[in-house]
Amino acid sequence: MGEPDPHAEPQAVLSPLTRTAIFLVVTIDPGGESVVRDLLPDLAGLRRAIGFPAPEGRLSCVAGIGSEAWDRLFAGPRPAELHPLKEVAGPVHRAPSTPGDLLFHIRAQRHDLCFALESQIMNRLSGAVTVRDEVYGFKYLDVRDLLGFVDGTENPEGSAAEEAVIVGDEDPDFAGGSYVIVQKYLHDLDAWNSMTVEAQERTIGRTKLGDIEMADDVKPPDSHVALTTIVDPDGTERQILRDNMPFGSVARGEFGTYFIGYARTPDVTERMLERMFLGDDEAAHDRILDVSTAQTGTLFFVPSADLLDDPPGPPGEPAAAAEGPPATTIEAPADGSLGIGGLKGSAE
């Protein structure tokens, strides 16, 4: 696998975790494509305008584009591995594939900054899109999910994160981009809280208090950690970058985790989902699915910041002409001169 292109600036995929986030998924209404194309290059400016007065808020926005939307928005080639997310239906549990043309992953240390940017985005998209999902995520206690476990412990860091997440020269037209899969999970907290701490730890594959992964000879093969660890035949462990967040409503009794996983290739995350929902030779399915139900699932491509600022033209638009002034044809005068005083051409 080639190195990521150092000249293609990624979007803020590798930004540090924040205290709050908004996950916004929309579909493009018929005829709304031009409105979306006009917005995408302006996203960076909108983020700067809102985030500039509060740099400590670390406001960022990552935009992803779904498979069907890509061909409606742009002419020319498409990302090599962009496709609709495949539904994974096991004997007991199902990972659905749900509609989504655009993802806006908005993050900050302050919720008001996320809200302000989302408002500007939706004002621009008014009448052109339909909201499919809108989730307000928050940091919970000491970086734990609502199940009480630390989430994202195994995220790669530094150059390892870039290698795992950013597209390189294997797809040069889209170097600097990334793939992202999102899923909204709802938890049955009554069932979860009725379990002993030991049973919870065996479900996850880590200790609850200390967040230490169980030894291989102790960790159950149907634990979450065991089934989401992807190892290639040559022994290489494949990684993704998670920025999951808890969400919930006490009044509605709705509690969950919004899964968001960035990767250089969607194949890694899709293999994780297949193992979770279909199991393997040693496990029927991921034990966590007995208390956590997937409600949504969508795959997006995240263009580089450079490509987002200057996206391809719309479908059907002819390729852009080479830069520079148009060529001019000058006919020689009939008398054989060069047209400058009395100078004559060399043919004379």
C-alpha 159/C-alpha 348 separation (Å) is 68
CA 318 to chain CA centroid, Å, is 29
CA distance 281 to 278: 10
Sign of the CA dihedral running 105, 106, 111, 116: negative
Classify residue 58 as left (phi > 0), alpha (psi -120 to 50) or beta.
left
The rounded Cα 263 to chain-centroid distance in angstroms is: 8
Query: Does residue 151 carry a catalytic annotation?
Result: yes
Distance from C-alpha of 59 to C-alpha of 61, rounded to nearest angstrom = 7
> Which residue do the tokens 């065996």 mark?
202
Q: Which one from 5, 101, 133, 151 is the annotated catalytic residue?
A: 151
Asked if 21 and 137 count as a contact pair (C-beta separation under 8 A), the reply is: yes
Distance of CA 280 to the CA centre of its chain: 27
Are 269 and 263 in contact by the 8 Å Cβ rule? The answer is yes
Query: Helix or strand or coil: residue 243?
Result: coil
Q: Name the residues annotated as catalytic.
A: 151
